[in-house]
Chain A
Amino acid sequence: MTTDLAIEAVGLAKSYGSTSVLDHVDLRVPRGGVFALLGPNGAGKTTTVRILATLTRADAGHVRVAGHDVGTQRREVRRRISLTGQYAALDEAQTGEENLRMMGRLLHLAPQLARRRAAELLERFDLTAAGRRRVETYSGGMRRRLDLAASLVGEPEIIFLDEPTTGLDPRSRAAMWEIVTGLATTGVTVFLTTQYLDEADRLADHIAVVDGGRVVAEGTTAQLKEQVGGRRLDVELAAAAGPEAFATLVRQLGPRAVTADPARRTVGIATDGTAAHVRALLDEIDAGRDRVAHFDVHTTTLDDVFLALTARPAPAEVRPIATENPSATEKRSEHV
């Protein structure tokens, strides 16, 4: 087994009762940099992270994290990782500083060292002023930063971040992105899950796309985009063509239609962007030269990749909505 991998998972499977959550997941995460597990709600992201972070046992499969087996060498793994979940793992009634010092003490740092480490982390995450306030008075963004600070007390080699920006406002989100980028430059491995394509695109060196408990694609951002073709051709049908013509066209294109928007009568099709290919596509779609009103050629976004891979045109839940905040009970059910 190679040692330059931070995480290697082979054939992970997990079900809760008769509900299969993960179905043979393979992951290879190189050391250093940012790896994103991208997928919609319910794809199995949280379950995967919990298994990798030793909190949940897989039904089948083998996982090595930081060179140790999560099944048989939990302690060794736990010493080298940290997990920041979707819900702040902090005591609300303790101050920020007390929370960090408590984590330091639980890592068996001497009291002065725990205190110093807490001060240093508060400073680094711009929380020094709030350090003496109880966490219950913190904003969402401050909580997330403190939570991340708490996970860094022990200087982990691998940092798991489960949906680090879900529910944050755009400014806090940008701050979190900066922090993650900063972490990656210190040589640690960051493994994050996200349902936001722009987040994965912006932060990650490597991406695995999960859907329905399976990895449907894996690679660098560039490789993934290439899978779908370098460009996307959007064609808008003429209003006169009617909804039946639109439906017929989508059916005719099948999986080649990476997006479909009936309201705007627009279909997106993967293309290499050459004039010959675009012309051929237009001829194929509109042999009579009366159905297409406009067309447009774009550079492919990760959006297109995702839609093409999961064969799910324009799902509402993969749109980045900064204010979205799924209720705790709803998300908890995913990993009970």
Chain B
Amino acid sequence: MSELALAEATRRPAPRPAIVDAAADVTTMIGRSLRLSLRSVDGMITALALPIMLMLMFVYLFGGALRTGIAYVDYVVPGVLLVCAGFGAATTAVTVSSDLTTGVIDRFRSMDVSGAALITGHVVASVARNLVSTALVVAVALAIGFRPSAGVGGWLAAVGVLALFVLALSWLSATIGIIAGSPEAANGFTFFVSFLAYPSSAFVPIDTMPSWLRGFARDQPVNTVVETTRATLTGGPVGSVAWHAVLWSLGIIAASVAASGMLFNRRG
């Protein structure tokens, strides 16, 4: 193709429906976020090492002192999975917030790339990161004696519920990242989300908590996901808590998708 013909072709790409262009933008931004995640060495190390340290700490340091009715490693793995997933997803707030401080965002804006495409890229990369770290945690758990009784169906259900929750938390964090004035402020959110795992059955049974806390501990989203994951993995009765977990996740996703789109357009 001659220089001129190339220039002409570049200037006027063949007209396509807007939805195809929008989907192409989303794909491009997912590729970008995945590449940036893979190249952020310290980010990857934190995402992979922290979960494993957390689990070893709970199983070996606290495990001896806790009575949960079943082997503590079997009890705590769902909780650790969730804390890790929650932490990993919440770091998306920091990633989005620092991304928004870079000049490249202005370029995207001036190229009419939608906020939705940008945020979807971040969220998909976050889910991918977390699936990898979840797999790693499960592998280490199996190595130190985790013996779940679940069949293939149970595993699929557990992974599905966790993945849905990670998606919800990632999108919520991305929204927080847009609102936060700085990456440091966004970082506070990570702490908040990790904290939610403590007033839940993640590490200790809820019956051991003061009675005024039990209602909150039982119904908050993190607990519904922990209980569902534990029940599906250890073959216990799943019951209505699974629906609560799914509804919480779907609700958080819906609210975050709407809010992030609106907030991104308003910012700048």
* Cβ A78 vs Cβ B112 within 8 A: yes
Determine whether the beta carbon of B106 is less than 8 Å from that of A94: no
B103 touches A93 (CB 8 A): no
Chain B residue numbers with a CB within 8 Å of A89 are 102-107
Question: From residue 8 to 45 of chain B, which have CB atoms closer than 8 A to chain A?
Answer: 9-11, 13, 16, 21, 24-25, 28, 31-32, 35-36, 39-40
Of A85, A87, A108, A134, the contact of B13 (CB 8 Å cutoff): A108
The listed residue (A108, A153, A155) touching B21 by CB distance below 8 A is A108
Q: Please name the residue on chain A nearest to B105 by beta carbon.
A: A89
> Which of B10, B28, B106, B113: most chain A Cβ within 10 A?
B10
**Contact, CB under 8 Å: A94 / B35:** yes
Residues of A within 8 A of B110 (CB): 53-55, 78, 81-83
Proximity string of chain B (90-105) to chain A, C-beta cutoff 8 Å, 1 when within and 0 when not: 0000000000001111
A53 proximity list for chain B (CB < 8 A): 110
B101-126: contact bitstring with A at CB < 8 Å (1 yes, 0 no)?
01111111111110000000000000
Separation of A91 and B36 alpha carbons in the complex (Å): 8
- Cβ–Cβ < 8 Å partners of B112 in chain A: 74-75, 78-79
When distances are taken between beta carbons in the complex, the residues of chain A under 8 Å from B105 are 89
- A109 interfacial by beta-carbon distance below 8 Å: yes
Give which listed residue, B28, B39, B106, contacts A106 with CB less than 8 A.
Answer: B28
Assess whether B13 is in contact with A107, with CB atoms less than 8 Å apart: yes
> Is B70 part of the binding interface, using a Cβ–Cβ cutoff of 8 Å?
no
- Across-interface contacts of B40 in A (CB, < 8 A): 93
Is residue B61 contacting chain A, with contact meaning CB distance below 8 A?
Answer: no
Among B7, B16, B25, B107, contact of A155 (Cβ-Cβ < 8 Å): B7
Q: Does A88 contact B (CB under 8 A)?
A: yes
Residues of B within 8 A of A90 (CB): 103-104
Q: How large is the interface on B (under 10, 10 to 19, 20 to 34, 35 or more residues)?
A: 20 to 34
Contacts of B106 in A (CB 8 A): 55, 83, 85, 89
Q: C-beta contact mask, A20-56 vs B, less than 8 Å → 1, else 0?
A: 0000000000000000000000000000000001111
Cα A81 to Cα B10 with chains together (Å): 14
The answer to whether B103 touches A88 (Cβ under 8 A) is yes
CB < 8 Å neighbour of A109 from B10, B36, B103: B10
Question: Which one of B9, B21, B35, B109 lies within 8 Å of A113 (CB-CB)?
Answer: B9
B103 & A106 in contact (Cβ 8 Å cutoff): no
Which one of A55, A117, A151 contacts B268 once the chains associate, using CB atoms below 8 Å?
A55
Contacts of B143 in A (CB 8 A): none
A258 in the interface (beta carbon within 8 A) = no
A296 to chain B, nearest CB (A): 45
Given contacts A155-B7, A155-B10, A155-B11, contact A78 B111 (CB under 8 A): yes
- Cα distance A102–B111 in the bound complex, in angstroms: 12
- In the complex, chain B residues 211-254 whose Cβ is within 8 Å of any chain A Cβ: none
- For A83, the closest partner residue in chain B by CB is B110
Q: How far is the CA of A52 from the CA of B25 in the complex (A)?
A: 24
How far apart are A138's CB and chain B's nearest CB, in angstroms?
14
Query: Which 5 residue pairs of A and B lie closest in terms of their CB atoms, listed nearest first?
Result: A89-B107, A89-B103, A87-B103, A93-B39, A105-B28
| B positions within 8 Å CB-CB of A | 6-7, 9-11, 13, 16, 21, 24-25, 28, 31-32, 35-36, 39-40, 102-113, 268
Can you identify 19 A-B contacts, CB atoms within 8 angstroms? Answer: A55-B268, A78-B111, A79-B112, A81-B110, A85-B103, A87-B103, A89-B107, A90-B103, A91-B36, A93-B36, A102-B32, A103-B111, A107-B10, A108-B13, A113-B6, A120-B6, A153-B10, A154-B111, A155-B7
Interface residues of A (CB under 8 A from B): 53-56, 74-75, 78-79, 81-83, 85, 87-91, 93-94, 98, 102-103, 105-110, 113, 116-117, 120, 134, 150-151, 153-155
Given contacts A55-B106, A93-B35, A120-B6, 17 further A-B contacts (CB under 8 A): A53-B110, A56-B268, A83-B107, A89-B103, A89-B104, A89-B105, A89-B107, A90-B103, A91-B32, A93-B36, A94-B32, A102-B31, A102-B32, A106-B25, A106-B108, A108-B24, A151-B107
